[in-house]
Amino acid sequence: MLKKRKTSREVREENEDLRKLERELKLRGYTPRTISAYKLYVGLYKEYVKERNLKEDVESLKDFLAYLLTEKQYKATSIAMVKAALLFYFENLKSIEVSPKHLATPKKPKKLPVVLSRDEVKRLIDAADSEKKKLIVMVLYATGLRVSELINLKVKDLYFNEGVIRVVSGKGKKDRVVTVSERLLRRLKDYVRTKTPEDYVFVSKYGDKLSSRYIQYLVKDLALAAGISKEVTPHVLRHSYATHLLEAGTNIRVIQELLGHANLQTTQIYTKVSLDELKKVKSPLDNI
């Protein structure tokens, strides 16, 4: 089926809608990545209703979500993002109230996070062939920083005397403080000794800020080099940090603060993945 060619007026109207959407998202402090995703999904929806000569309303929204699920085979995680984008569009640009409960879609699968053992973390660090790479892995594991927080870390955020790192405007635009081991702080202090307070701690070979993609590929490559069969990502190091803190007896509310979680329920998933704690439970068979 050939797509109906848009008129210049329709193109202008669609571009104007997307421009307004971007402006509203920026005003509310959404990240560039989220803004890009929202614009993509709203654009796809507008194309969908245009091609089928539908109105932009709740019914066409349901049709669109069903189309993505059945014909485009979108996963539940992607559908959740599409739904969030379109709910924002309807409520803020179309002034149409849409209750999420009226848009029943598959729930996102709740998978337990992958966690490395302490030995696997050590092997990952040892696999790095430069001080920069070693320190990147060490900081991710020792602080639980997100990738975006790591690449935006500046020298002035390292408080050597206090033994902490200040995370500026992490997720949710909230600053927080995380503790760092003395061993890591000594290595960081030596690593940044020639940098200015405004410099990024980690930069590319050209002196630019590192990209998230670089960190992701680095961790993946190191995991392969270390012979770790698990699927290792930077976020796995964050999971491992939280789980190992819990196993060491750290209060879960303290872990919530260190991770920068707004909701304690988000942190509580780590109570389900602590293998050390599970191993402490004796089988009732042993008491017979």
261 as an active site residue: the answer is yes
| Active-site residue (options: 39, 83, 176, 261) | 261
238 as an active site residue: the answer is yes
- How many Cβ atoms from other residues are within 10 Å of residue 232's Cβ? 22
Residue 26: φ, ψ to 5°: -65, -40
| Active-site residue (options: 83, 176, 238, 239) | 238
217 as an active site residue: the answer is no
Residues in the chain, overall count: 288
Q: Cα–Cα distance between 215 and 267 in angstroms, integer?
A: 24
| Active-site residue (options: 146, 176, 239, 244) | 146
| Active-site residue (options: 171, 187, 195, 220) | 171
270 as an active site residue: the answer is yes
89 as an active site residue: the answer is no
Catalytic residues: 146, 171, 235, 238, 261, 270
